[in-house]
Amino acid sequence: MNLPQVTLGRSDLRVTPICLGTMTFGEQVDAATAHTILDRALERGIDFLDTAEMYAVPARKETFGATETILGDWFAKHPGLRQKITLATKVAGPSRGMPWVREGGGMTAADIVASCDASLKRLQTDVIDLYQIHWPERHVPAFGSMYYDPAKESSATSIHAQLEALGGLVKAGKVREIGLSNETPYGVHEFVRLAEQHGLPRVATVQNVYCLVSRALENGLDETMHRLDVSLLAYSPLAFGLLTGKYDQSGTDGPDAPKGARIASYESVRKQRWGRADALKAARRYNQLARDHGLTPAQMALAFCYTKWQVASTIIGVTSVAQLDEDLDAYGTTLSPEVLAEIDKIRWEIRDPAI
């Protein structure tokens, strides 16, 4: 599979426009199967992997760091392979109901450094190509919440201090480039402004949710990223499976979880954006549109992300080689002007139910 290369922001990182996300490794996917999936991804031309210190998910104390360990073992099995891969991982933001993350505390500059050192050890590597803040240290809407509430603000570590910690990691050779995740336009602007003002590393990427049923990024964040030369890494392009059609026969109150489906293991997710009745209603509309035009629901949903100007690289998450191949085979699919117009018509009616 001949995939092109894209440049992330103003960095020197050049990657494939599809990134393999690994959060299922260590929970839904055992180490042996994960290594088989990684082998197949490499065989098919993928050179970009994304993980995080808090993975596997659903997050549990027992599996904290498990995914990075699986990746580290895979690198150890293949000497010389690490240099061919662009490796991204993340430092967890302040604990969100996970007391095992820094004993339920916030995210200090020292925490960033300590988390990076622990990730390097688990990944069995000397350098992380792209080190991202998983969610803001500030109290901002994320993971299904809609509104910013100043009364809930609890920030204790300034963006400047976070950048100084990340800059120290870059200077030490432990990190090549930095990025953000689950960020807002304000956050992106501040990270870039302070970096340029103080000669600190400039963020190359933002990893945010982006899919047919969750396009809030197009309400202003896309302009911010375009004008500041920051690249989008789009996650959940299939809306946690809603856009595969597997839940189309589910109940009206939200997706019933078929045995083995990813959402079956995520009770918290079912209560958030992907479990909303309106999200399922919207997904059914998009899925039927795909079928009406001779496409599978997954094919149309992935093609939407693969071809949007806002997206530099789309992060796909799989639990089998078959799923991986299906997602990769969708690359190159072109959506007709008619289909794109129908997609926008549905969005105008339903907006972003899985914000």
Please state whether beta strands 6-7 and 14-15 pair in parallel, antiparallel, or not at all (unpaired): antiparallel
- What is the distance between the alpha carbons of residues 44 and 256, in angstroms, rounded to a whole number? 33
Query: What is the residue-wise DSSP string for 17-62?
Result: SEEEE-TTBTTTB-HHHHHHHHHHHHHTT--EEE--TT-SSS--GG
- Print burial letters for 5-21: b (CB count within 10 Å at least 16), e (below 16): eeebbebebebbbbbbb
- Provide the strand spans (E) within the chain: 6-7, 14-15, 18-21, 48-50, 86-91, 128-133, 175-181, 203-209, 231-235, 311-317
DSSP-derived 3-state class of residue 12: coil
Known catalytic membership, residue 131: no
Nearest by Cα to 121 from 53, 32, 38: 53
* Alpha-carbon Rg for the chain in angstroms: 19
Active-site pick, 55, 235, 247, 266:
55
Report yes or no: 112 and 162 within 8 Å, Cβ to Cβ: yes
- What is the distance between the alpha carbons of residues 71 and 46, in angstroms, rounded to a whole number? 15
**Residue numbers annotated as active site:** 55
